[in-house]
Amino acid sequence: MSILKKLNTRASDTNQTGFGTNSEYSGGRFYNADGTPNIGVQGISFFERFSVYNTMLKVKTWKFIVLILCFYIVTNLVFASLYLLTGIDNLGGIEGDNIITKYWEAFFFSAQTLSTVGYGHIYPTGMITNMIAATESIMGLLTFALATGMMYGRFSQPRAYLKYSKNALFAPYKEGVAVMFRMVPYKHRNLSDAEVKATLAMKVHDDGKVSNKFYGLTLEIPKINALTLSWTVVHAINETSPFYNLSREDLLSSSAEILIFVKAYDETFSNFVVSRTSYEAAQFVYGAKFKLMYHPSNDRQHTVLSIDMVSDYEEIPLPDIGYNLGT
Protein backbone atom coordinates (compact mmCIF):
# COMPACT_ATOMS: atom_id res chain seq x y z
CA MET A 1 0.00 0.00 0.00
CA SER A 2 1.34 3.45 -0.91
CA ILE A 3 2.09 5.97 1.80
CA LEU A 4 -0.53 8.32 0.38
CA LYS A 5 -3.22 5.68 0.91
CA LYS A 6 -1.91 4.97 4.39
CA LEU A 7 -2.09 8.61 5.42
CA ASN A 8 -4.95 9.21 7.75
CA THR A 9 -7.85 10.82 5.89
CA ARG A 10 -8.90 12.46 9.15
CA ALA A 11 -5.58 14.27 9.45
CA SER A 12 -5.92 17.82 8.18
CA ASP A 13 -3.27 18.94 5.71
CA THR A 14 -2.04 22.52 5.54
CA ASN A 15 -0.34 24.75 2.98
CA GLN A 16 0.65 27.51 5.41
CA THR A 17 4.31 26.50 5.72
CA GLY A 18 5.59 28.78 2.96
CA PHE A 19 7.06 25.86 1.00
CA GLY A 20 5.78 24.59 -2.33
CA THR A 21 3.83 21.36 -2.71
CA ASN A 22 5.69 20.03 -5.77
CA SER A 23 8.61 18.01 -4.43
CA GLU A 24 10.35 17.91 -7.82
CA TYR A 25 11.28 21.56 -7.32
CA SER A 26 12.66 21.22 -3.79
CA GLY A 27 15.51 19.23 -2.31
CA GLY A 28 16.73 18.16 1.11
CA ARG A 29 15.18 19.10 4.41
CA PHE A 30 13.06 22.21 4.72
CA TYR A 31 14.75 23.70 7.80
CA ASN A 32 18.25 23.15 9.11
CA ALA A 33 18.72 22.12 12.72
CA ASP A 34 19.65 25.71 13.64
CA GLY A 35 16.31 26.96 12.31
CA THR A 36 17.57 28.56 9.10
CA PRO A 37 15.66 27.69 5.89
CA ASN A 38 17.54 25.18 3.73
CA ILE A 39 17.32 27.43 0.66
CA GLY A 40 20.01 28.71 -1.68
CA VAL A 41 19.51 31.86 -3.73
CA GLN A 42 20.51 32.62 -7.31
CA GLY A 43 19.41 34.96 -10.11
CA ILE A 44 20.56 38.04 -8.24
CA SER A 45 24.02 39.50 -7.82
CA PHE A 46 26.01 38.84 -4.66
CA PHE A 47 25.99 42.49 -3.59
CA GLU A 48 22.21 42.76 -4.04
CA ARG A 49 21.46 39.78 -1.80
CA PHE A 50 24.27 40.34 0.70
CA SER A 51 23.67 42.68 3.65
CA VAL A 52 26.73 43.56 5.70
CA TYR A 53 24.63 44.79 8.62
CA ASN A 54 22.39 41.70 8.80
CA THR A 55 25.36 39.39 8.39
CA MET A 56 27.30 41.09 11.17
CA LEU A 57 24.26 40.83 13.44
CA LYS A 58 23.81 37.11 12.77
CA VAL A 59 27.37 35.74 12.77
CA LYS A 60 28.76 34.11 15.89
CA THR A 61 30.47 36.39 18.39
CA TRP A 62 33.98 35.07 17.74
CA LYS A 63 33.52 35.56 13.99
CA PHE A 64 32.28 39.10 14.58
CA ILE A 65 35.37 39.95 16.66
CA VAL A 66 37.71 38.33 14.13
CA LEU A 67 36.14 40.26 11.24
CA ILE A 68 36.44 43.58 13.08
CA LEU A 69 40.09 42.89 13.96
CA CYS A 70 40.89 41.79 10.41
CA PHE A 71 39.33 44.95 8.98
CA TYR A 72 41.27 47.09 11.46
CA ILE A 73 44.62 45.42 10.72
CA VAL A 74 44.17 45.33 6.94
CA THR A 75 43.11 48.99 6.86
CA ASN A 76 46.22 50.05 8.77
CA LEU A 77 48.45 47.90 6.57
CA VAL A 78 47.01 49.57 3.47
CA PHE A 79 47.45 53.11 4.80
CA ALA A 80 50.96 52.34 6.08
CA SER A 81 51.84 51.22 2.56
CA LEU A 82 50.38 54.45 1.13
CA TYR A 83 52.50 56.55 3.50
CA LEU A 84 55.62 54.70 2.39
CA LEU A 85 54.70 55.10 -1.29
CA THR A 86 54.34 58.87 -0.94
CA GLY A 87 57.79 59.01 0.63
CA ILE A 88 58.79 58.18 4.15
CA ASP A 89 60.41 61.62 4.45
CA ASN A 90 56.90 63.11 4.45
CA LEU A 91 56.31 61.61 7.91
CA GLY A 92 58.12 63.63 10.53
CA GLY A 93 59.40 61.84 13.63
CA ILE A 94 60.25 58.55 11.93
CA GLU A 95 63.31 57.15 13.70
CA GLY A 96 63.73 53.74 12.10
CA ASP A 97 67.03 52.92 10.44
CA ASN A 98 65.66 50.28 8.04
CA ILE A 99 62.60 49.86 5.87
CA ILE A 100 60.93 47.29 8.10
CA THR A 101 61.19 49.45 11.21
CA LYS A 102 59.98 52.49 9.25
CA TYR A 103 57.01 50.48 7.92
CA TRP A 104 55.93 49.46 11.42
CA GLU A 105 56.25 53.05 12.62
CA ALA A 106 54.04 54.08 9.70
CA PHE A 107 51.62 51.28 10.63
CA PHE A 108 51.25 52.55 14.20
CA PHE A 109 50.94 56.14 12.96
CA SER A 110 48.09 54.86 10.78
CA ALA A 111 46.47 53.18 13.80
CA GLN A 112 46.68 56.43 15.77
CA THR A 113 45.23 58.41 12.86
CA LEU A 114 42.43 55.91 12.22
CA SER A 115 41.36 56.05 15.86
CA THR A 116 41.96 59.88 15.94
CA VAL A 117 44.24 59.45 18.98
CA GLY A 118 47.16 61.36 17.43
CA TYR A 119 50.00 61.21 19.97
CA GLY A 120 52.05 63.67 17.90
CA HIS A 121 55.34 61.73 17.87
CA ILE A 122 54.93 61.12 14.12
CA TYR A 123 53.19 63.69 11.95
CA PRO A 124 52.55 64.25 8.21
CA THR A 125 54.46 67.04 6.47
CA GLY A 126 53.71 66.85 2.73
CA MET A 127 50.45 67.81 1.03
CA ILE A 128 49.74 64.32 -0.28
CA THR A 129 50.58 62.73 3.06
CA ASN A 130 48.29 65.18 4.86
CA MET A 131 45.48 64.35 2.41
CA ILE A 132 45.93 60.63 3.07
CA ALA A 133 45.93 61.25 6.85
CA ALA A 134 42.79 63.41 6.59
CA THR A 135 41.05 60.72 4.54
CA GLU A 136 42.05 58.06 7.04
CA SER A 137 40.81 60.08 10.00
CA ILE A 138 37.34 60.62 8.52
CA MET A 139 37.24 56.97 7.52
CA GLY A 140 38.11 56.05 11.09
CA LEU A 141 35.27 58.16 12.48
CA LEU A 142 32.76 56.51 10.15
CA THR A 143 33.96 52.91 10.53
CA PHE A 144 34.19 53.10 14.32
CA ALA A 145 30.67 54.52 14.40
CA LEU A 146 29.47 51.63 12.23
CA ALA A 147 31.30 49.04 14.34
CA THR A 148 29.83 50.52 17.52
CA GLY A 149 26.34 50.48 15.98
CA MET A 150 26.69 46.84 14.94
CA MET A 151 27.98 45.88 18.38
CA TYR A 152 25.05 47.65 20.02
CA GLY A 153 22.68 45.94 17.59
CA ARG A 154 24.05 42.54 18.56
CA PHE A 155 23.61 43.21 22.26
CA SER A 156 20.20 44.86 21.96
CA GLN A 157 18.65 42.40 19.52
CA PRO A 158 16.01 40.22 21.23
CA ARG A 159 16.65 36.51 20.66
CA ALA A 160 15.04 33.31 21.84
CA TYR A 161 17.89 31.48 23.50
CA LEU A 162 16.45 27.98 23.33
CA LYS A 163 18.17 24.61 23.19
CA TYR A 164 16.29 21.73 21.58
CA SER A 165 16.68 18.02 22.11
CA LYS A 166 18.73 16.33 19.38
CA ASN A 167 16.00 13.77 18.75
CA ALA A 168 12.24 13.51 18.58
CA LEU A 169 11.03 10.53 20.57
CA PHE A 170 8.19 8.08 20.01
CA ALA A 171 7.32 7.33 23.61
CA PRO A 172 4.54 5.57 25.51
CA TYR A 173 1.88 8.09 26.40
CA LYS A 174 -1.24 7.32 28.42
CA GLU A 175 -2.53 4.16 26.71
CA GLY A 176 -0.88 4.80 23.37
CA VAL A 177 2.14 6.47 21.77
CA ALA A 178 3.10 10.10 21.34
CA VAL A 179 5.80 12.04 19.50
CA MET A 180 7.81 14.24 21.85
CA PHE A 181 10.63 16.75 21.68
CA ARG A 182 12.02 19.02 24.34
CA MET A 183 13.30 22.58 24.63
CA VAL A 184 14.82 24.67 27.40
CA PRO A 185 15.82 28.36 27.74
CA TYR A 186 19.52 28.65 28.53
CA LYS A 187 20.33 32.35 29.01
CA HIS A 188 17.37 33.93 30.76
CA ARG A 189 14.05 32.89 32.28
CA ASN A 190 11.93 35.84 31.23
CA LEU A 191 9.97 34.29 28.36
CA SER A 192 6.20 34.33 28.78
CA ASP A 193 3.20 33.33 26.65
CA ALA A 194 5.33 30.76 24.83
CA GLU A 195 3.54 29.11 21.92
CA VAL A 196 4.71 26.25 19.72
CA LYS A 197 3.45 24.96 16.38
CA ALA A 198 4.53 21.69 14.79
CA THR A 199 4.00 20.47 11.22
CA LEU A 200 4.75 17.09 9.68
CA ALA A 201 6.25 17.41 6.19
CA MET A 202 6.44 14.39 3.87
CA LYS A 203 7.35 13.68 0.26
CA VAL A 204 4.78 11.23 -1.15
CA HIS A 205 3.96 9.85 -4.59
CA ASP A 206 0.74 11.30 -5.97
CA ASP A 207 -0.42 10.45 -9.53
CA GLY A 208 3.10 9.65 -10.66
CA LYS A 209 4.56 12.78 -9.10
CA VAL A 210 6.31 13.35 -5.81
CA SER A 211 4.45 15.97 -3.79
CA ASN A 212 5.17 17.74 -0.54
CA LYS A 213 2.45 17.09 2.01
CA PHE A 214 2.14 19.13 5.19
CA TYR A 215 0.05 18.16 8.20
CA GLY A 216 -0.46 20.28 11.29
CA LEU A 217 0.23 18.33 14.49
CA THR A 218 -2.24 18.74 17.32
CA LEU A 219 -0.28 19.30 20.52
CA GLU A 220 -1.39 18.40 24.03
CA ILE A 221 -0.24 21.77 25.39
CA PRO A 222 0.53 24.24 22.58
CA LYS A 223 0.94 27.27 24.84
CA ILE A 224 2.27 27.92 28.34
CA ASN A 225 2.27 31.03 30.49
CA ALA A 226 5.99 31.04 31.29
CA LEU A 227 8.93 29.14 29.83
CA THR A 228 11.25 28.83 32.83
CA LEU A 229 12.05 25.11 33.01
CA SER A 230 12.23 22.52 30.25
CA TRP A 231 9.17 22.06 28.05
CA THR A 232 8.38 18.66 26.59
CA VAL A 233 6.04 19.13 23.66
CA VAL A 234 3.71 16.18 23.05
CA HIS A 235 1.70 15.11 20.00
CA ALA A 236 -0.48 12.12 20.83
CA ILE A 237 -0.86 9.63 17.97
CA ASN A 238 -4.54 8.82 17.57
CA GLU A 239 -7.14 8.44 14.82
CA THR A 240 -6.72 12.07 13.75
CA SER A 241 -2.90 12.05 13.70
CA PRO A 242 -1.03 11.91 10.36
CA PHE A 243 1.33 9.36 11.99
CA TYR A 244 -1.54 6.92 12.42
CA ASN A 245 -0.89 3.63 10.54
CA LEU A 246 2.57 4.69 9.34
CA SER A 247 5.68 2.61 10.01
CA ARG A 248 9.18 3.90 10.56
CA GLU A 249 10.06 2.68 7.05
CA ASP A 250 7.25 4.85 5.70
CA LEU A 251 8.63 7.86 7.53
CA LEU A 252 12.15 7.24 6.26
CA SER A 253 11.13 6.61 2.65
CA SER A 254 8.98 9.75 2.60
CA SER A 255 11.76 11.92 4.11
CA ALA A 256 9.45 12.85 6.96
CA GLU A 257 10.40 16.01 8.83
CA ILE A 258 8.79 17.69 11.80
CA LEU A 259 8.95 21.48 11.47
CA ILE A 260 8.98 23.40 14.76
CA PHE A 261 8.06 27.06 15.20
CA VAL A 262 8.21 28.72 18.65
CA LYS A 263 7.11 32.22 19.57
CA ALA A 264 7.37 33.80 23.01
CA TYR A 265 7.24 37.22 24.63
CA ASP A 266 10.57 38.44 26.01
CA GLU A 267 9.85 40.62 29.04
CA THR A 268 13.34 42.16 29.04
CA PHE A 269 12.97 43.64 25.55
CA SER A 270 9.16 43.94 25.62
CA ASN A 271 9.07 42.19 22.28
CA PHE A 272 8.26 38.83 20.74
CA VAL A 273 11.06 36.43 19.84
CA VAL A 274 10.88 33.41 17.55
CA SER A 275 12.86 30.22 17.18
CA ARG A 276 12.74 27.38 14.63
CA THR A 277 14.18 23.93 14.20
CA SER A 278 13.25 20.62 12.59
CA TYR A 279 13.67 16.87 13.07
CA GLU A 280 14.32 14.52 10.15
CA ALA A 281 13.13 10.91 10.15
CA ALA A 282 16.70 9.79 10.86
CA GLN A 283 16.49 11.75 14.14
CA PHE A 284 13.40 9.88 15.34
CA VAL A 285 13.98 7.50 18.24
CA TYR A 286 11.41 4.77 18.79
CA GLY A 287 10.76 3.44 22.28
CA ALA A 288 12.30 6.06 24.57
CA LYS A 289 11.38 8.79 27.02
CA PHE A 290 13.20 11.90 28.20
CA LYS A 291 14.99 11.88 31.52
CA LEU A 292 13.93 14.46 34.06
CA MET A 293 16.39 17.36 33.82
CA TYR A 294 15.63 19.31 36.99
CA HIS A 295 15.59 18.53 40.70
CA PRO A 296 15.41 20.38 44.03
CA SER A 297 18.61 21.78 45.54
CA ASN A 298 20.15 20.14 48.58
CA ASP A 299 18.46 22.62 50.89
CA ARG A 300 15.27 22.34 48.81
CA GLN A 301 15.07 26.12 48.54
CA HIS A 302 15.24 26.30 44.73
CA THR A 303 15.11 24.13 41.62
CA VAL A 304 18.28 23.04 39.80
CA LEU A 305 17.95 22.83 36.00
CA SER A 306 20.58 20.74 34.15
CA ILE A 307 20.75 22.30 30.68
CA ASP A 308 23.13 19.64 29.38
CA MET A 309 20.46 16.97 29.88
CA VAL A 310 18.04 18.42 27.32
CA SER A 311 18.69 15.51 24.91
CA ASP A 312 19.10 12.71 27.47
CA TYR A 313 16.62 9.86 27.22
CA GLU A 314 16.20 6.25 28.31
CA GLU A 315 14.82 3.36 26.31
CA ILE A 316 11.37 2.08 27.14
CA PRO A 317 9.28 -0.43 25.15
CA LEU A 318 6.42 0.88 23.06
CA PRO A 319 3.01 -0.59 23.85
CA ASP A 320 1.10 -2.73 21.37
CA ILE A 321 -1.18 -0.11 19.88
CA GLY A 322 -2.63 -2.19 17.07
CA TYR A 323 -0.98 -0.49 14.10
CA ASN A 324 2.37 -0.33 12.37
CA LEU A 325 4.13 2.65 13.93
CA GLY A 326 7.59 1.78 15.19
CA THR A 327 7.95 -1.52 13.33
204, 205, 207, 212 alpha-carbon torsion, rounded to 10°: 30
> Considering its fold, how many domains does the chain have in total?
2
Find, among 155, 152, 159, the residue nearest to 271 by Cα.
Answer: 159
pLDDT given at position 327: 44
pLDDT given at position 205: 74
Give me the domain span that covers residue 285: 3-40+159-315
237 inside domain? yes
Same domain, 152 and 272: no
Task: Using alpha carbons, list the distances in angstroms from residue 93 to 81, 105, 110.
Answer: 17, 9, 14
Same domain, 210 and 310: yes
User: What is the rounded CA–CA span in Å between residue 84 and residue 102?
Assistant: 8
Same domain, 143 and 117: yes
289 inside domain? yes
Q: Of 120, 140, 156, which marks where a domain is finished?
A: 156
pLDDT given at position 264: 94
pLDDT given at position 5: 60
pLDDT given at position 143: 92
Same domain, 25 and 58: no
pLDDT given at position 213: 85
Same domain, 181 and 311: yes
Residue 163 · residue 267 · CB < 8 Å: no
Same domain, 308 and 260: yes
Mean pLDDT by 10 residues, the chain (327 residues): 59 64 67 78 74 84 93 95 87 83 91 86 88 93 91 85 94 92 87 94 78 89 92 92 88 92 90 93 94 90 92 90 51
CATH number of the domain enclosing 275: 2.60.40.1400
320 inside domain? no
Task: Using alpha carbons, list the distances in angstroms from residue 59 to 38, 54, 68, 144, 148.
Answer: 17, 9, 12, 19, 16
Q: Of 121, 156, 191, which marks where a domain is finished?
A: 156
Q: Could you tell me the pTM of the whole model?
A: 0.78
